[in-house]
Structures are given as C-alpha cells and as structure tokens.
Amino acid sequence: MTTTPTIETLRPTIAEITGSIFGTMLDIAVSPLDSMAAEGAFEMTAAVYYAGVWNGALLLECSLRQAAEWGVRLMGIPPPIAAEDARDSLGELCNVLAGNLKPMLPPGVALSTPSVVAGADYSLSVRDSLRETLDFADAYGPFRIVLIIK
C-alpha cells in the first residue's frame, strides 16, 4: 500500500536531493537557510509539474547570475553564457530535482517538460493547493525551491 506523501515527509527529501544534485552536477555546496531568509524577488523561475494520481509542481527560483553560473558549470563552458543557455540549464536542474523526487510519490505520476520564466513580475496559482518553500544559499547567493501540492 502506497501512502500519499505530505509536505512534512517531502521536506527533508527535497533538502537532501538538492544538496546531492548541486554537489554532483555543479560541484557547488549548498546550505539550507531559515525560512524567509531569501526574501526578495528572484529573476528566474523554472517549473516542472506532476500529474496523475498525485498533482503538484516543483519550482526552482534564483537570480540571473545564479542561472548563468549554474549553466557554465552544468554545460562545462567558459563564461559568459548566453541567456538561452542559462534558461535551459535552469530548466534542466529543475527537471533533475523533480525527477529525483518522483520515487517518493505514488506510482503513476508523470512529469511535465520544464518551463522557465524570466522576470519577477508574474504569479502562479494552483487552486486548492499547499505550498512549501525551502530556502538555500550557494556561493552566488540565496535561491529557493517551492513545492506545490494540489
């Protein structure tokens, strides 16, 4: 019998996955921050949606500089990086984070293709949902992972 995961059960897994992926894929150490420590508008957001027997979304929010730095490390190219490559890299990181969280979800959940929004003047609304924010920092500043459960 599969139990439906809750935000409380997923929070430590997301923190562990984030540290592992950033360490392995980017060779960057990340540290968790206290809630609300990463206040301010992030200029880039990547999102991957979960659909099926369990619905939700995973968002990765960061600064333009971070997306560029992560892209340089992910793609193994010298800076400066093109804006399109920074967006693609951010989408790929979000996709890997969401995919690594998927085994914690009930069988039959599918992932969407990542989408990336540049700019901070937008809103995302998922009706009747719970939202959990996890703040982190790396050498380039704070960033945020948001889990939305419908």
DSSP conformation letters of the chain: -PPPP-HHHHHHHHHHHHHHHHHHHH----EE--TTTT-S--SEEEEEEEESSS-EEEEEEE-HHHHHHHHHHHHT-PSSPPHHHHHHHHHHHHHHHHHHHGGGSPTT-EEPPPEEEESS------TT-EEEEEEEEETTEEEEEEEEE-
**Which pLDDT band, with edges at 50, 70 and 90, does 1 fall under?**
very low
**Which pLDDT band, with edges at 50, 70 and 90, does 103 fall under?**
very high
Over residues 123-131, the mean pLDDT reads 73
Report the pLDDT value the prediction gives residue 130, as an integer from 0 to 100: 84
Domains, the chain, ordered by start = 7-149 (3.40.1550.10)
Decide which of 39 and 123 is more confident. 123
pTM of this structure: 0.90
**Which pLDDT band, with edges at 50, 70 and 90, does 9 fall under?**
confident
Per-residue pLDDT tens over the stretch 63-92: 999 999 999 999 999 998 999 999 999 999
